Structure 1
Amino acid sequence: MAQITIAKPTPALWRVRFDNAPINLIDSQTVVELRALVEAAEADAEVAVILFESANPDYFLAHWDLADDGERQSSLRPGPTGQHPWLDVLIRISKLPVVTVSAIRGRVRGAGSEFVLATDIRFASRERAVLGQFEMATGVVPGAGAPARLPRLVGRGRAIEIMAGAEDFDGDLAERYGYVNRAVPDADFDDFVTAFVNRVSRFDRRAIEELKQWVDPLTLPDDEEFPPQLDAFFEAVARPEVLARIGRLFEQGLQSPGVVEDRLGEFAARAENTSGAAG
């Protein structure tokens, strides 16, 4: 794999690391590699815990690569859900008969946020984690699950605030809202996450599978909630005014290391200014 590495300290524990320089954008190749990972996990009777982490301390998963042409995705055969390849991956990750954990150090926005929302547990570095759904600032509604998953996690009001406000959330505020399970001081983060996944991976895999069978139907959105959201997203991103806002962000440095990606919630809101003023 070009973007993902998988280490297996034990047969029951997989540590999956994202490394798509320079800022861990999600693109078609990411989907291809995650599909392969999911298929391997579905076929493995020993794995009990999958930990997702990043090789980049500043970016867990920045967001979708807006320059990606989707060609690699289109080459994928239909998955068992029958849905768009990205939705197929996220749905299958959420339903794996294992515990999935996102160890969030750095920025995770847009589609990156929707990825971590599809995992069972989200731990965040108190000082380094930044989460957000910035899409509304560009004129579109999040399309890969946030409108379905966030209300179930944080409640209606806070979900609308997170998405409509399109602002960045630090680790502490994300914890307070329920966006993440827990914010941990960065100095203790690696030890805490490793201790947790090691502990759970030693438990009976059958018990973990049974737990997910009980919890999933009560907490996961119905699969049919997702396609209309993605269709609305694709329709919106083709609008001239949305393309203009995104274009202004690219002019300022979108998708490159620097101040725009560091403070994307702020700069995305500025792009709403149709005069093009950077402020």
Structure 2
Amino acid sequence: MNHLNVSKESAAFWRVSISNPPVNLVNSRFIIDMHELLDAAEADSDLKVIVFESANPDYFLAHWDLTDDMSLLADHPEPGAGPKFPFAFMDMVVRLSKLPALTITSLRGRARGAGSEFVLATDITFASRERTLIGQFEMTAMAPPGGGAPSRLARLIGRNRALEVLIGAEDFTGPQAELYGYVNRAVPDDELDEFVTAFANRVARFDRTSLIQLKQWVNEITLPEDNELQPQGEAFGEALSRPAFQNWVTEAFARGLQQPGELEENLGAKVPLSTQPE
């Protein structure tokens, strides 16, 4: 796998490090890698817990790669037998959310847009208190979030706060995200790795059948129906062709989008448009 490094800490506990320099963008190769990982995880009868972390301390998953034409996915077999959505990313996060094993995000760095939606599809998130920035910046680009964030966030943090996150389109620090319930807990950065590992090892000692049953019961109450997500993906796809979005893309790339630097570091604090949307 190109962007995922899997370390099997034990038969029951896998650690997955995400690495897609320079800023850990979500792209077609990442989606293919994730489906390969999910294939292996679903087939493993010993696996109980997976921890996702980033090899880049500044970026967990920056956002979707706006230069990716998804051509790699054209020849990639359709994974699984579940419902298909307009975007392969949504297929992947839906599948991730339903994985029998418990999934934990160890969040250090920036997770915006599709990066935030990946985090929301995992079961538990422990975040670096000092080094986390998470949010849904899409409205600054004149588009609604299209990877399930409206459905997942509203269930997770409530209607009013979800609207603030989604429409305000600003970054949330670790303590702010903890306060809102966007993440489970904000942990001092120098304690995060040890804390997450201890929690994962604890889960790995429990009975797998009981763990799967518990997760299924919670899923039935809390996960959105698959058909609820499709209109969100379609609306996002329509927004990508609008002049306002194209203008945003042009200016954002001119200012350094998708490269380390001031714009990517502070994307949630900016609306990088010199002209008003139509």
- Using the size of structure 1 for normalisation, the TM-score is 0.96
Whole-angstrom CA distance in 2 between matches of 1:73 and 1:141: 23
CA RMSD of aligned residues (A): 1.2
Could you report, residue by residue, the CA deviation over 1:198-244 in whole angstroms, capped at 9, with x for unpaired residues?
11111111111010121100000001111111111010011011110
Match of 1:56 in 2: 56
Structure 2 gaps of 5+ residues are none
Whole-angstrom CA distance in 1 between matches of 2:193 and 2:124: 15
Is contact 2:251–2:272 with CA below 8 Å preserved after alignment?
A: no
One-letter identity of the residue aligned with 2:204: S
One-letter identity of the residue aligned with 2:236: F
One-letter identity of the residue aligned with 1:51: V
One-letter identity of the residue aligned with 1:244: N
Match of 2:241 in 1: 238
- What does residue range 129-278 of structure 1 map to in structure 2 within 5 Å? 129-267=132-270, 269-271=271-273, 273-274=274-275
Could you report, residue by residue, the CA deviation over 1:220-273 in whole angstroms, capped at 9, with x for unpaired residues?
000111111111101001101111012111100000000000000122x232x3
Is contact 1:245–1:274 with CA below 8 Å preserved after alignment?
A: no
One-letter identity of the residue aligned with 2:275: T
- Count of aligned pairs between the two proteins: 274
Is contact 2:49–2:200 with CA below 8 Å preserved after alignment?
A: yes
Q: 1:82: how far off?
A: 3.1
1:3 and 2:3 correspond? yes
Match of 2:78 in 1: 78
One-letter identity of the residue aligned with 1:270: P
Whole-angstrom CA distance in 2 between matches of 1:78 and 1:232: 23
Match of 2:24 in 1: 24
Q: 1:134: how far off?
A: 0.1
One-letter identity of the residue aligned with 1:16: V
Secondary structure class of the residue paired with 1:10: coil
- Using the size of structure 2 for normalisation, the TM-score is 0.96
Q: 1:187: how far off?
A: 1.3
Is contact 2:83–2:226 with CA below 8 Å preserved after alignment?
A: no
Secondary structure class of the residue paired with 2:206: coil
Whole-angstrom CA distance in 1 between matches of 2:35 and 2:113: 19
Question: Deviating runs (4+, > 4 A) in structure 1?
Answer: none
Of 97, 116, 120, which aligns to 1:94?
Answer: 97
Secondary structure class of the residue paired with 1:78: coil
